[in-house]
Amino acid sequence: MRKGSILTTNERTNLSMIEGDDIMVVDIRRRGEEVIRIIIIYDQRARETGRRPARRLDWQQIIRRGGGGGMVLTGDFNAHSQY
């Protein structure tokens, strides 16, 4: 975030660390406004375990603590994949 910006960010590692670098949850707030939560997912099946990161998240906790300003779900979902 640019120094002096009216936006503040808070990376919510307590919600995303279960999958290391494959999931990132960030809350963004503009002074005096509600939080917008951005969830970034790289949902590639892990070669070692066969697991997909998005399926291991506690979605109820992420949505419940969303801050009321809305959420944006983004990332690489491998839509071309057979899985």
Q: 31: Cβ–Cβ under 8 A, 6 or more apart, which residues?
A: 6, 8
Number of domains in the chain: 1
Q: What is the pLDDT of residue 83?
A: 54
Instruction: Give the residue among 17, 56, 62, 2 at the shortest CA–CA distance from 35.
Output: 62
Confirm if 57 and 25 have CB atoms less than 8 A apart: no
Range of the domain at 15: 7-76
pLDDT one-digit tens code per residue, 30-77 = 887 888 888 888 777 777 888 777 777 788 888 776 567 788 888 876
pLDDT one-digit tens code per residue, 9-23 = 888 888 776 656 678
In this structure, is residue 16 part of a structural domain? yes
In this structure, is residue 45 part of a structural domain? yes
Q: What is the pLDDT of residue 18?
A: 62
In this structure, is residue 30 part of a structural domain? yes
Torsion, Cα of 14, 20, 21, 25 (10° steps): -20
Note the pTM of the prediction, 2 decimals: 0.70
